[in-house]
C-alpha cells in the first residue's frame, strides 16, 4: 500500500540547486533511510514531504487519511508546558483518555470522575498504551513529568520531541537524525523499538549500525540522481560499489570513444548533413560523460606533526563536582604516545566535563593535571563555528593556518585541505552562511585540523556529518599519528577508530581495553545483578512471591550460556564488518545472518529477564 509519492520535485536557493526532478515512493511497513552528502538538501526534502516547505516544481501525493509525525532538528515546543502537558497536547485520542484518567487519580475525592475515566480506559483498551507511554518516557530519561520545557536542556527537548512523535502512533514517521542527543543505551533501545514495531519510517541518519539493523530499504541521492537499494546498509555498500564500478567502466569507454570522435570532429566538412548533425550531438553527450568527475575523496596525509615529549598529560586524583553533584571522582591516568581513547557514558555523566578539565577550560576541585610543554591541543567542541557576516569559507580556515606541514618538506594548503574534506574550489569562495549545518561542522573540523595538533580532542564529531564525510574523517584519523581522545555515540565510528575506552559511571571512570563492541559483549557476559524495574505507573502492580519450577531453573541456566554464545557470534560478524574482512559476495548473506542473530538474542534476553523478574518478585 502506497502511503506517499514524491513526483519530480526540485528545489533551489538562488543559484544553488539542491535537487532536480527526483521521484520515489514510500509504502506501508517500509523502513527507509535517505542518504546524501551534506548540503544536498536532506533536511529540506524532509520539510517538503512534511509540508513545512514547498518545492519549486513537482508534487507530493499523500494517501488520504494517513497520519504523519515528523521529528525535525528544530522542534517547536511550548516552553511554558510541562513534559506531561507537552505529550498530551496532541491529537491522539488514546492520550486524551489517559490524560483524563491521570487527572482523576490526582483527585481521589471525585469517585464518579474516576469511575468514568476508568471505564474509558477499559473501553478503549488504553492500559497497554499507558504502559508503553510510561516505558518510552523512562527509556528516554524524561521521568520528571512536571518539569517545564523551558528548563530542559537541548538534548532533553530533542528526546521529548522524539517521545511525542512515537506516542502519536502515526502511520508514517519521518525522522531527521533521530540518534543525535541520545546516549548509547537509548540508541540501542530505539533500534529494538523500531525493529519490533510495525511502523513505516522515512529517516535521515548517519548512524551506520542503526541503518544496518533497522532499515529494509535505502534511497540515495548521488550526483543529482536517485538510486534505490532494497536491503540494509551492508547490501547498500555492496550494490553501490558494483554501481560505481559499472559507471567507471562506462566512463572509460566514453573516454576512448571521445578521443576517436574528436579526430572526426576536427576534420569534418563544413557542410553538415542530417547524419553528421546527429553524430555531432552524440559527440557532445560522450564528451560530457567522459569528463564527468565525482566528488569523492580519501584523505591520506603523511603529517609532519610537532614532536610529543616524554611527558604528555598526567591526571592525579582529579575530582570535579557541580554543587552537590560529583561528576569526576579520583581520576588518575597518564597519557601515552599512540593513545586512541573513546569516552562513553550516559547523558550528563561528565564526558564533556572531562574534556574541558584536560584542556584547562575547567579547573579540578581536587587533584593535579600536568600538561607537557610539547602538547598542542586541537579541540573540536560541540559549540561549533562562529560565523562572521560576509565571511567566505576559505577565509575562515586561513584564520587558523595557511597550510599543514607534511613529511619530506611538503605541505598542504588550506584550500587543499578543504578540497580533501569535500569543499570544491567554487564552494571555498562561497559565503559561510550559505552552508548547511553539516557543512559548517565539516568546516569547523578543518579549522581544528589545519592547526596541526598533536593531541586531538573531538566532542561528538559525528553529529550532523553525512556518511561520506564520516568515511573521509575516519580515513584521516586512522593515519593520524598523534593522541586521539573522542566522545561519540556513533558505535561504528568508535569501533573503527579507538582501541580502548574511558567508561563513565556515576563519576568513576573505568579504563576498558577494547572498542565499543568489545565493551558491549563484555558487559552482556557479566553476571546479572538483581533486576529492578522502576514502576512508573500509578496503578498497583504488586506481586506475590513466585518460586521457580525445576524446568524453569534449568531453562534459566541454559539461557545464560546461549546468550553468551549468541553475543560472541554477533560480535564476530560485527567485527568483520568493521574490519571489512567479508568478501563482497558474502556481505548480504552475513547481514541477514547478523539480523537473525540479533532477533534470537533479543528473544532469549527477554525470556531471561522474564524469569529473573519472577525470581526477584
Q: What is the pLDDT of residues 236-253, one digit of tens each?
A: 988 988 888 887 777 677
Q: Are residues 163 and 188 in the same domain?
A: no
Cα–Cα distance between 346 and 161 in angstroms, integer? 19
Give tens-digit pLDDT for 44-68: 999 999 999 999 999 999 999 899 9
Q: Please compute the mean of the pLDDT values over residues 161-173 and round it to a whole number.
A: 91
When pLDDT is cut at 50, 70 and 90, the band that residue 578 belongs to is: low
Pick the closest to residue 591 from 261, 218, 253 (CA basis). Answer: 218
Higher pLDDT, 613 or 425: 425
- Is the pLDDT confidence value at 540 over 50? no
On whether residue 296 sits in a domain, the answer given is no
Residue 414, in any domain of the structure: yes
State residue 241's pLDDT score: 85
Cell 559507471 locates to: 247
541-552: average pLDDT: 53
Q: What is the mean pLDDT of residues 459-471?
A: 87
Any domain includes 51? yes
- Mean pLDDT throughout 15-26? 90
How far apart CA 382 and CA 322 sit, in angstroms, is 20
282 — pLDDT class (breaks 50, 70, 90):
low
Same-domain pairing of 335 and 468: yes
- Quickly tell me which residue has 522515512 as its cell: 202
Q: How far apart are CA 539 and CA 537, in angstroms?
A: 5
- Say yes or no: 109 and 55 in one domain: no
Number of domains composing the chain: 5
- Out of 220-229, 249-258, 312-321, 436-445, least confident range: 249-258
Residue 168 has pLDDT above 80, yes or no: yes
- In this structure, the answer to whether residues 324 and 430 fall within a common structural domain is yes
Quick check: is 537 in a domain?
no
Rounded Cα distance between 92 and 86, Å, is 12
Mean pLDDT of the chain: 83
Q: 176 with 60, same domain?
A: yes
Element (H, E) at 33: strand 31-35
Indicate whether 543 pLDDT > 60: no
- Please say whether the dihedral angle defined by the alpha carbons of residues 449, 451, 452 and 458, taken in this order, is positive or negative: negative
Element (H, E) at 442: helix 437-449
Poorest-confidence range of 30-44, 272-286, 362-376? 272-286
Check whether residue 152 and residue 188 sit in a common domain: no
Instruction: Out of 485-489, 491-495, 545-549, pick the least confident.
Output: 545-549
154 & 231 share domain: no
Residues 362 and 493 in one domain: yes
Interatomic CA distance for residues 498 and 462, integer angstroms: 14
Residues 258, 218 share a domain: no
Tell me which H or E stretch contains 394.
helix 393-398
Q: What is the CATH number of the domain that holds 319?
A: 3.40.50.300
Q: Is residue 297 part of a domain?
A: no
Residue 63 near residue 2 (C-beta atoms within 8 A): yes
The answer to whether the beta carbons of residues 207 and 490 sit under 8 Å apart is yes
pLDDT value of position 518: 87
Contact by Cβ (8 Å): 466, 438: yes
Residue scoring higher pLDDT (166 or 595): 166
User: Are 259 and 244 found together in one domain?
Assistant: no
Give the highest mean pLDDT range of 38-52, 80-94, 528-542: 38-52
Angle, helix 127-139 to helix 154-167, in steps of 10 degrees:
160
Range of the domain at 597: 542-616
pTM: 0.70
**230 and 255 part of one domain:** no
The answer to whether position 308 is within a domain reads no
Q: Is 528 inside any structural domain? A: no
Structural domain ending residue among the three candidates 109, 141, 169: 169
Q: Same structural domain for residues 325 and 400?
A: yes
- The residues near 375 (Cβ < 8 Å, ≥ 6 apart) are 308, 312, 313, 454, 455
CB 59 within 8 Å of CB 44: no
Residue 573 lies in a domain: yes
Q: Kindly report which listed range (75-79, 213-217, 339-343) carries the lowest average pLDDT score.
A: 75-79
Q: Is the pLDDT of residue 308 over 50?
A: yes
Q: Which three cell numbers stand for residue 11?
A: 528545489
Amino acid at each position: 500500500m502506497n502511503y506517499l509519492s514524491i513526483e519530480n520535485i526540485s528545489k533551489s536557493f538562488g543559484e544553488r540547486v539542491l535537487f532536480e526532478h527526483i521521484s520515489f515512493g514510500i509504502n506501508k511497513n517500509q523502513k527507509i533511510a535517505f542518504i546524501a552528502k551534506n548540503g544536498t538538501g536532506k533536511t529540506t526534502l524532509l520539510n517538503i514531504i512534511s509540508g513545512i516547505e514547498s518545492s519549486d516544481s513537482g508534487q507530493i501525493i499523500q494517501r488520504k487519511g494517513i497520519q504523519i509525525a515528523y521529528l525535525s532538528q528544530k522542534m517547536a515546543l511550548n516552553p511554558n508546558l510541562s513534559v506531561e502537558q507537552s505529550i498530551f497536547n496532541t491529537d491522539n485520542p488514546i492520550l486524551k483518555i489517559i490524560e483524563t484518567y491521570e487527572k482523576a487519580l490526582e483527585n481521589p475525592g471525585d469517585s464518579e470522575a474516576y469511575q468514568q475515566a476508568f471505564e474509558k480506559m477499559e473501553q478503549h483498551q488504553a492500559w497497554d498504551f499507558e504502559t508503553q507511554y510510561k516505558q518510552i518516557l523512562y527509556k528516554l530519561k524524561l521521568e520528571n513529568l512536571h518539569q517545564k520545557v523551558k528548563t530542559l536542556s537541548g538534548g532533553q527537548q530533542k528526546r521529548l520531541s522524539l517521545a511525542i512523535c512515537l506516542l502519536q502512533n502515526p502511520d508514517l514517521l519521518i525522522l531527521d537524525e533521530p540518534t543525535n542527543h541520545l546516549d548509547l543505551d537509548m540508541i540501542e533501545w530505539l533500534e529494538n523499538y523500531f525493529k519490533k514495531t510495525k511502523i513505516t519510517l522515512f529517516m535521515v541518519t548517519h548512524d551506520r549500525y542503526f541503518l544496518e539493523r533497522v532499515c529494509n530499504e535505502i534511497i540515495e541521492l548521488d550526483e543529482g540522481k536517485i538510486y534505490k537499494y532494497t536491503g540494509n546498509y551492508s547490501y547498500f555498500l555492496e550494490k553501490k560499489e558494483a554501481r560505481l564500478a559499472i559507471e567507471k567502466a562506462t566512463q572509460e569507454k566514453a573516454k576512448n570513444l571521445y578521443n576517436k570522435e574528436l579526430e572526426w570532429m576536427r576534420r569534418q566538412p563544413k557542410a553538415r548533413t542530417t547524419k553528421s548533425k546527429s553524430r555531432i550531438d552524440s559527440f557532445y553527450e560522450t564528451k560530457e560523460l567522459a569528463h564527468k568527475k565525482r566528488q569523492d575523496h580519501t584523505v591520506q596525509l603523511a603529517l609532519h606533526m610537532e614532536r610529543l615529549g616524554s611527558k604528555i598529560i598526567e591526571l592525579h586524583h582529579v575530582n570535579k563536582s557541580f554543587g552537590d553533584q560529583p561528576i569526576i571522582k579520583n581520576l588518575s591516568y597518564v597519557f601515552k604516545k599512540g593513545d586512541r581513547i573513546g569516552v562513553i557514558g550516559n547523558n550528563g555523566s561528565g564526558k564533556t566535563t572531562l574534556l574541558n578539565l584536560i584542556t584547562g577550560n575547567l579547573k579540578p576541585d581536587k587533584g593535579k593535571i600536568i600538561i607537557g610543554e610539547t602538547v598542542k591541543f586541537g579541540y573540536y567542541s560541540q559549540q561549533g563555528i562562529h560565523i562572521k557576516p560576509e565571511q567566505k569559507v576559505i577565509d575562515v580556515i586561513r584564520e587558523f593556518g595557511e597550510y599543514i606541514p607534511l613529511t619530506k618538506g611538503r605541505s598542504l594548503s588550506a584550500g587543499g585541505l578543504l578540497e580533501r574534506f569535500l569543499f570544491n574550489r567554487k564552494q571555498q569562495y562561497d559565503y559561510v552562511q550559505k552552508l548547511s549545518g553539516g557543512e559548517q561542522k565539516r568546516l569547523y573540523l578543518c579549522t581544528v585540523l589545519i592547526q596541526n595538533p598533536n593531541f586531538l580532542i573531538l566532542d561528538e564529531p559525528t553529529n550532523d556529518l553525512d556518511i561520506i564525510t564520516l568515511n573521509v574523517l575516519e580515513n584521516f584519523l586512522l593515519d593520524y599519528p598523534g593522541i586521539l581522545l573522542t566522545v561519540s555515540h556513533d558505535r561504528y565510528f568508535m569501533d573503527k577508530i579507538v582501541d580502548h575506552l574511558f567508561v563513565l559511571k556515576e563519576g568513576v571512570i573505568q579504563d576498558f581495553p577494547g572498542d565499543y563492541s568489545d565493551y558491549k559483549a563484555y558487559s552482556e557476559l557479566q553476571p546479572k545483578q538483581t533486576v529492578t524495574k522502576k514502576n512508573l505507573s500509578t496503578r498497583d502492580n504488586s506481586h506475590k512471591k513466585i518460586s521457580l519450577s525445576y524446568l524453569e531453573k534449568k531453562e534459566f541456566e541454559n539461557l545464560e550460556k546461549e546468550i553468551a554464545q549468541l553475543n560472541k557470534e554477533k560480535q564476530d560478524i560485527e567485527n568483520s564488518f568493521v574490519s571489512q574482512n567479508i568478501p563482497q559476495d558474502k556481505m548480504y548473506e552475513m547481514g541477514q545472518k547478523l539480523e537473525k542473530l540479533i532477533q534470537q538474542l533479543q528473544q532469549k534476553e527477554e525470556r531471561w529477564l522474564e524469569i529473573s523478574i519472577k525470581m526477584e518478585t
